[in-house]
Amino acid sequence: MLTTGPRGTRDILPDSSGYWQYVENMIREVCRNFAYQEIRTPIFEHTELFLRGIGETTDIVEKEMYTFTDRGKRNITLRPENTAAVVRSYLENKLYAGPQPTKLFYIGPMFRYDRPQAGRYRQFHQFGVEAIGAQGPAIDAEIISLAVEFLNRLGLNDLKLLINSVGCPACRPVYRTKLQEFFRDKVSQLCTDCQSRYDRNPMRILDCKNETCTEHSQGAPHMVDCLCDECSSHFTGLKEHLTAAGINFVINPRLVRGLDYYTKTAFEIQYSPLGAQSAVCGGGRYDGLIAECGGQPTPGIGFAIGIERVLLALEKQELLPIINNAIDVFVAPLGAETQAAAFQILTELRRANIAVDMDFINRSLKAQMKYANKYPAKFVALIGQDELAQNKVMLKNMETGSQELVERAELVHMIIEGMEK
């Protein structure tokens, strides 16, 4: 137990943290481009928020939450996703009083009691965006376009964008009835989950991953054929905007989110080389959610992208960048008496914002040179007994191999000059 982390968790080690930084930098760059600002909310919230904000009939709430009672007897849950928390923060901090829409992004860990496998973990990370306070399809297209742009800039191009409309509380009840009629004779043959979904939330039968359920839902009526005028023109508007932006999409009538506060646009982005866990992005509109959480009725839309899946895709396609750990200078003390002087040089260089390391474990000269080369270091500053006595340093340029004896007082200046060459 002491040397094994909990199942479904992973360490991000130094050999891959550079890839995470690369992806996170891309997120910040794209969000800046699209004028979305970062929000950071706590990783735990009152359980009630997720019961309301995600819905009691979803897999997340039914099976996947990390919930506990804290010492003050509060019911707490580690966030399984972040939309509900962002909406909570939007209301608590009255972000609606600022210019609208409120355009936010977040990056951070989420927690779900999922079955661990490639691309599926119990602590995983999402990058998500939320646009709260805009109603028309243009913002839906902006949100989708942001996700696509982010993935494209990383080099992921063969994306499959699936879109659908899940209607609204005006047109969905009619559809729900139609769907129940369609499944009436088939209920007993569906999986046990879907049998309970039949009454509680029949739309979710459509996204069941069980093969038998998939077969039985062939020929089921489509929500897009039952939309009210408002939802229908919203969907048409979305398609027009996506087309105008040159973003390819496929309509997938099985893409559903069966809760009342999920409305109109639902979308998913798949990257098929990932195989079983091919969904990299899921999103949609939630015009009923803010009121559900106690605010004034306010429209909203967002998505979440799984960062681990993005990294898996980048690795698979050999799109990971080369991470540069190079340093400018390696300070090499030769003998214990020179350590303090070496440390002083190291400190001076660092104060001048030069990337520096030194030997801390009394390596031999040969081993220090080898170590410096591994970084690689552009210069090695050697300080032995003689150099110490003369207040000098032997500065070796590792690229040219040339070396010269320099005054210690000159060192920072010479290195800055040498780096500019």
Give me the residues that bind ligand ATP (CB under 6 A), please.
81, 112, 114, 119-121, 124, 126, 277, 279-282, 304, 306, 308-309
Task: Give whichever of 116 and 237 is closer to ligand ATP, judged by the CB atom.
Answer: 116
Please state the closest distance from residue 406 (CB atom) to ligand ATP, in A: 53
Please state the closest distance from residue 112 (CB atom) to ligand ATP, in A: 5
Please state the closest distance from residue 10 (CB atom) to ligand ATP, in A: 10
Task: Give whichever of 258 and 333 is closer to ligand ATP, judged by the CB atom.
Answer: 258
Please state the closest distance from residue 177 (CB atom) to ligand ATP, in A: 26
Among residues 231, 214, 211, 249, the alpha carbon closest in space to that of 299 is found at: 231
| Chain position whose Cβ is nearest to ligand ATP | 306
- Residue 208 token pair: 């069941």
Task: Give whichever of 132 and 310 is closer to ligand ATP, judged by the CB atom.
Answer: 310
Query: How far out from the chain centre does Cα 340 lie?
Result: 44
Q: Are strands 279-285 and 403-407 parallel, antiparallel or unpaired?
A: unpaired
Please state the closest distance from residue 77 (CB atom) to ligand ATP, in A: 15
- What does the H/E/C string look like for 83-133? HHHHHHHHHHCCHHHCCCCEEEEEEEEEECCCCCECCECCEEEEEEEEEEC
Please state the closest distance from residue 161 (CB atom) to ligand ATP, in A: 13
Task: Give whichever of 59 and 230 is closer to ligand ATP, judged by the CB atom.
Answer: 59
Please state the closest distance from residue 128 (CB atom) to ligand ATP, in A: 8
Q: Are strands 392-397 and 403-407 parallel, antiparallel or unpaired?
A: antiparallel
Task: Give whichever of 198 and 271 is closer to ligand ATP, judged by the CB atom.
Answer: 271
Other beta carbons within 10 Å of 365? 13
Task: Give whichever of 279 and 323 is closer to ligand ATP, judged by the CB atom.
Answer: 279
Please state the closest distance from residue 252 (CB atom) to ligand ATP, in A: 14
The span from the CA of 170 to the CA of 168, in Å, is 5
Task: Give whichever of 145 and 277 is closer to ligand ATP, judged by the CB atom.
Answer: 277
Residues 6+ apart with CB under 8 A from 338: 383, 384, 385, 387, 388
Which strand (E) or helix (H) includes residue 395?
strand 392-397
149-155 long-range contacts, CB within 8 A, separation 24+:
149/30, 149/33, 149/34, 150/26, 150/27, 150/30, 150/305, 151/269, 151/271, 151/280, 151/281, 151/305, 151/310, 153/26, 153/29, 153/30, 154/23, 154/26, 154/310, 154/314, 154/319, 155/314, 155/317, 155/319
Task: Give whichever of 284 and 333 is closer to ligand ATP, judged by the CB atom.
Answer: 284
The span from the CA of 154 to the CA of 311, in Å, is 10
Please state the closest distance from residue 207 (CB atom) to ligand ATP, in A: 8
The span from the CA of 243 to the CA of 246, in Å, is 5
Positive or negative torsion for Cα 54, 59, 62, 65? negative
Task: Give whichever of 252 and 368 is closer to ligand ATP, judged by the CB atom.
Answer: 252
